[in-house]
Amino acid sequence: MGPDQPLRSDSPPELRVSVRPKRAGQAESDWRQLARWLYTNNPFYVISAWLVFVGLRSSFDTASETFQTGALMAGLAGYTLLLAVSACLLVRLGQVWDDVRSMLILVVLMFLALSVSFDDTLAANPRLGQWYFLGGLAFSIVVSEGLLWGMRLRLPVGFRVPYYLMSGLFFLYPLSLTPLVGQPHEAPLLWALFGFSSAAAVVLLTLLPAVRRGPEYVRDNGSPWRWPWYPWALFIILGLGVLARARYLCISFHFVGDSTNIFGFYFWIPFLLAANVILLEMGLVARHKGTIRVALLAPAVLVLLAVTGRGTMMTNLRFPERFADTLGATPLFLTLVALALFYTWCLWRRVALAGDALSISLALFCVCGPGTFGPRTAVLDDPAAWPLAAVAGVQLWMAFRRRNVVRVVVALGFGLGAAGLVLRQTPLLAYRGVVPFHILLGAVLLLGALVQDRFGRLLQYVGAVLIGGAGAAAVFCGPTVLGPKPPEWLQSLLGVYPALAMALAAAYGYLVGNRWYYLAAAGVVAAWLTKVGWLSYRALRQTVVGLDYLFWGMVFFLVALLISLSKAGAFRQPAGTERGEDTGG
C-alpha cells in the first residue's frame, strides 16, 4: 500500500484515516507560513537599509566634489535618524520590541557605514576629511544617547564607556593615518595599519569589569531583552565591524596597486584573542561549560589565521618578513606565545581542560621556531626538546593536584621524549644511560607515591631497589659509570651522590611509610663501609704480608663458633613456648 492510498475499509475504525495530502490546502498553508515568518521577523528593515546605503554610495563620489561628499553624509545621517525616531515611536506607542531590536542593530551598522564612507575624502583632502569624521563621531554619540533616552533603555556605564570607545576608534583612528598616507612602503604606515586590531583589542578588554558583574548588571534595563542578548548583540556587531575595518583600512590608505595591500588574516589575531578572553570570562561568570569549552577551543582558529599570513598578495610586499625582523619572531610563533600565556592564565583560574590545552600549545613549539611562518618552514629535522619538558612539567603539576596516575604516565612519556631529543642532539649527555635511568626512577617514585593500591606498593619496592642499587653503583663504580671524559662538575656530583641517595631514600620512606627505603639507605651505607673497608684492607696488605690468612682464619673461626653455639642450643626456642604465645608471667 503506497503512502498516498487510503486504508482499506476492513481496517479498524481508529485507523481508517486517509493520508492523501490536499495539494491546494498545502500550498495555501505554505504561503501562510511564509507570511507569518515575514510578519514575525520583519526583514524589510534590513532590506531597506541595504538598498539605501548602496543607492547613496553609488550615487555620490566622495573623492570628487565637496557637494557630493556632503550629500552622502546627509543621506546616511538622515536615514539613520529615520531609523532612530521610528524605533523610539514603536517602543513608546506599541512596545514592538522585536522589530526595534533589528532597527537598533541597523542604526549601529549605519554608524559603521559612516566611519568608512569618507576614507577617500580623508586621503585626498585631509582637512575636509577630518571634519567629516569628527562630525560622524559627534552624530553617532548624539543619536545613541537620544535613542537610549527616547526608548528609556538602560545601558550601564560598564557597557556604555566601551561602546563609545569603540565608536571613537572607528572614527578617530583613520585620522592618525593621514600624515603617513604618502609613504606606502615606510614602516610607520605599515605598523599603524597593523595596529588597528591591537588598539581595538585594548578597547574590548575594557568590558571585563562589566562581564564580571554578571547578568544582574543588566537585569532591569527597561526592555524584555535578557542577558546575554542584551547588550552583547551590540558588541558582536561592533566586533564584526572591527574585522572588516582592519582590512578596509589597508585598502583605503595603502596605495600600492589596484588590489595589493599588506593585509593578512593574522591582523585579526590580537582582537580575536581579546574577544576570546571576554568569552571565557562570560562562561566562568555564568558557569556555562559549553561557553568555556568554546573559549578553550577557539584559539585553534588563531593558529590557522597565523599560518595563512604569507599569501601570494603579501609575499611581494614582504611585510611578514619585516614583521619577523622587527619583532624577532613570525606571526605564528608570537601567536603560540600568546596562546601559551592565555592557557596559563586559564590554568591559574582552575579552568577545566586548561592544562591539556596548554600542553598542546607548548608541544607545537617543538616544530615552530621564531622563523616559522607555516608548515613549509617548520623545524622538522631538528625539533626542540624544551617544549616536551615543559609539557611534562604541566602534566606532573596536574597529576599532583588531582592525584591522577594517567597524567603521571603522560608526563613520563613527554619527559622521556625530551630526554631522547637531548640525547640525540648531544650524545655525551647519555653517560651510559644515567639520564634515562633517573627519569625512570623519578617516574617510579611519583607513581608509587600517588597510587594507593597494590600496584603503587609494588612500585615503591621497585623504587627502593633502584635507589639502593644506584647508590651502591656510585660507591663501587665511581666515575667509570659515567663513561669516557665526563665533565668535572658531574664527577664532583658523583662524589656526593651516595649521600644524596641515602637522604632521598630516608625521606621518601618516611613520606610513604615504607621501611624498605630505610633498608635501601642502610644498603648504601653498607656499600660505602664495604668499599672503605676493602680499600683499607688493600692498603694494610702492603704492610702485613699474612693479612689474607689472618682474615680468612677469623672468618672460619666465626663459622665454627656459630656451629658450636647452635649445638649448645643458643638458637633453639625455649621449651613450652609456641609461636604467637605470650611468654610473659
DSSP string, 170-205: HHHHHHHHGGGTT-TTSHHHHHHHHHHHHHHHHHHG
Q: How far is CA 432 from CA 427, 437, 480, in A?
A: 10, 9, 10
Q: How far is CA 434 from CA 437, 441, 478, in A?
A: 5, 10, 13
- Tens of pLDDT, residues 529-561: 888 887 787 777 777 767 777 777 777 778 777
- Tens of pLDDT, residues 338-364: 999 999 999 998 898 899 999 999 999
What mean pLDDT comes out for the span 518-536? 85
All cell numbers assigned to 376? 613549509
Query: Residue 138: what pLDDT?
Result: 94
Most confident region among 68-77, 263-272, 435-444, 540-549 by mean pLDDT: 263-272
Question: How would residue 241 be classed by pLDDT, with cut points 50, 70 and 90?
Answer: very high
- Tens of pLDDT, residues 409-466: 788 778 877 877 776 655 444 555 677 777 778 878 887 887 777 777 888 888 888 8
pLDDT greater than 60 at residue 140: yes
Question: How would residue 196 be classed by pLDDT, with cut points 50, 70 and 90?
Answer: very high
Mean pLDDT of the chain: 79
Please tell me what DSSP assigns to residue 408.
H
Higher pLDDT pick, 365 / 308: 365
Q: How far is CA 572 from CA 183, 221, 342, 568, in A?
A: 105, 94, 73, 9
Query: Residue 237: what pLDDT?
Result: 92
**Residue 371 carries which side chain, given as an amino acid letter?**
G
Question: How would residue 137 be classed by pLDDT, with cut points 50, 70 and 90?
Answer: very high
Query: Residue 5: what pLDDT?
Result: 47
Query: Residue 172: what pLDDT?
Result: 94
Query: Residue 310: what pLDDT?
Result: 52
Most confident region among 48-62, 382-396, 466-480 by mean pLDDT: 382-396
All cell numbers assigned to 449? 607515591
Query: Residue 17: what pLDDT?
Result: 45
User: What residue segments make up the domains of the chain, in order of their start?
Assistant: 426-566
